[in-house]
């Protein structure tokens, strides 16, 4: 007796790693359940194709707006082209469900599905719903959110909402079972600095300047692994050279799970996926939210962990060498502070978020 093939699930995602990472985690969960999964993305999302391990990825146009009126008009034109491309793809592939992960690149696939009356699910990674998901939520069959207090959904939308957490890769989820080992008294303090998908220039200047002010015996105890933009690496190297510290500086790390596992302290932006991965790994962090989002979504992401005692939040204007120096000195002198924060961070993690989001997909397929 042959079994009918399971239906196709199409993931609409793109742009930055913050939107692609949860899509990747869901893809792996659904594939493990036997479903056929494909992705629809933009040219930026296509950069992550190797992580999807051979899963078909359809590249279409998206509607990211540029500066000024001309940029906005070009963005609208690109969006319309992308919607047309998505229509043709969906009519050809006939997915049972389309799942969107927010951001401009998710709009064509989800919007085309809604016009064609294909059931859609949207997932919001941040503490406040983004522009794209706010539009798509109105006609979505199900809405999944990472945090219970996600802002921006109306009463009717909340009735269709499930709190799943923000899906992380299995390699990250596995870290939830690995204990945090605090630095020994007088031993090495390992720092892992993550600058987000594009790095953060402020980290390349402030961090080495702060560490330069430590006493030599404290500097000798530091291990620094730092992500920096390619154009900032030379600047960071010159500043670190004055400290005697020999950091590992790269524009991209393909072994983030291993780096998280080895770190005693993370310094990072507060994108939703970054926060989710750090919390799942149970590592204490200093978050420096990107300050230029209108809705301050990164600050709200970071506050969710900091309010639970698992992290510290520093505004970019307050992220000065003197302020960072004071925190690092405190941790060097009293590492038990880091242990307590690690425990609180782990309690905020959702290592089963991919499974929970997968359950939402399966329930919608079965008509529940």
Q: For 2-140, list the strands marked E by DSSP.
A: 8-12, 36-41, 57-59, 97-100, 120-124
Count Cβ atoms within 10 A of the Cβ of residue 64 and give its class: 0-12 exposed, 13-18 middle, 19 or more buried.
middle
What confidence score (pLDDT) does residue 368 get?
Answer: 56
239: Cβ–Cβ under 8 A, 6 or more apart, which residues? 204, 205, 208, 209, 212
The domain 8-168+351-365 having CATH identifier 3.30.1300.10: the answer here is no
Q: Which residue has the tokens 């359950």?
A: 359
367 burial type by CB count under 10 A (0-12 exposed, 13-18 middle, 19+ buried): exposed
What pLDDT does residue 199 have?
54
Q: Residue ranges of the domains in the chain?
A: 8-168+351-365, 173-348
Q: What is the pLDDT of residues 23-33, one digit of tens each?
A: 999 999 999 99
- Predicted confidence at residue 143, as pLDDT, reads 98
Give dist(CA 345, CA 279) in Å, integer.
Answer: 5
Quick: pLDDT tens for 353-367.
999 999 999 999 998
Output DSSP code: residue 229.
-
DSSP symbol at 342 = H
Q: Do domains 8-168+351-365 and 173-348 have the same CATH topology?
A: yes
DSSP 3-state of 251: coil
User: How far is residue 333's CA from residue 343's CA, in Å, rounded to a whole number?
Assistant: 19
- CATH of the domain spanning 173-348: 3.40.50.2000
Mean pLDDT of the chain: 92
Q: Is residue 121 helix, strand or coil?
A: strand
Instruction: Report the predicted TM-score, pTM, of the whole model to 2 decimal places.
Output: 0.90
């Amino acid at each position: 007796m042959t079994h009918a093939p399971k239906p196709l699930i199409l993931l609409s995602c793109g742009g930055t790693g913050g939107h692609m990472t949860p899509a990747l985690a869901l893809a792996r969960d659904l594939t493990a359940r036997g479903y056929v999964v494909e992705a629809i993305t933009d040219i930026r999302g296509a950069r992550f194709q190797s992580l999807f391990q051979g899963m078909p990825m359809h590249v279409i146009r998206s509607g990211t707006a540029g500066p000024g009126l001309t940029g906005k008009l070009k963005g609208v034109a690109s969006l319309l082209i992308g919607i047309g491309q998505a229509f043709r793809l969906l009519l050809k592939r006939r997915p049972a469900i389309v799942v969107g992960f927010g951001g401009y690149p998710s709009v064509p696939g989800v919007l085309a599905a809604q016009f064609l009356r294909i059931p859609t699910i949207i997932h919001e990674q941040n503490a406040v719903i983004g522009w794209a998901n706010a539009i798509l939520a109105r006609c979505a069959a199900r809405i999944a959110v990472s945090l219970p207090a996600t802002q921006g959904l109306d009463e009717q939308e909340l009735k269709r909402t499930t709190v799943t957490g923000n899906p992380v890769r299995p390699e990250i989820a596995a870290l939830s079972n690995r204990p945090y080992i605090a630095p020994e008294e007088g031993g090495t303090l390992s720092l892992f600095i993550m600058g987000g998908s594009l790095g953060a220039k402020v980290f390349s200047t402030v961090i080495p300047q702060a560490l330069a002010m430590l006493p030599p015996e404290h500097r000798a105890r530091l291990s620094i692994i730092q992500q920096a933009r390619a154009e900032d690496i030379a600047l960071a190297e010159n500043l670190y050279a004055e400290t005697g510290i020999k950091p590992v500086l790269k524009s991209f790390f393909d072994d983030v799970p291993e780096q998280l596992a080895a770190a005693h302290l993370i310094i990072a932006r507060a994108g939703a996926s970054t926060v989710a991965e750090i919390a799942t790994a149970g590592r204490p962090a200093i978050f420096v939210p990107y300050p230029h989002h209108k809705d301050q979504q990164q600050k709200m992401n970071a506050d969710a962990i900091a309010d639970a005692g698992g992290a510290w939040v520093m505004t970019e204007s307050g992220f000065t060498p003197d302020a960072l120096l004071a925190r690092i000195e405190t941790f060097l002198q009293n590492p038990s502070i880091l242990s307590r924060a690690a425990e609180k961070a782990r309690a905020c993690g959702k290592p089963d978020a991919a499974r929970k989001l997968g359950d939402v997909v399966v329930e919608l397929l079965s008509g529940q």
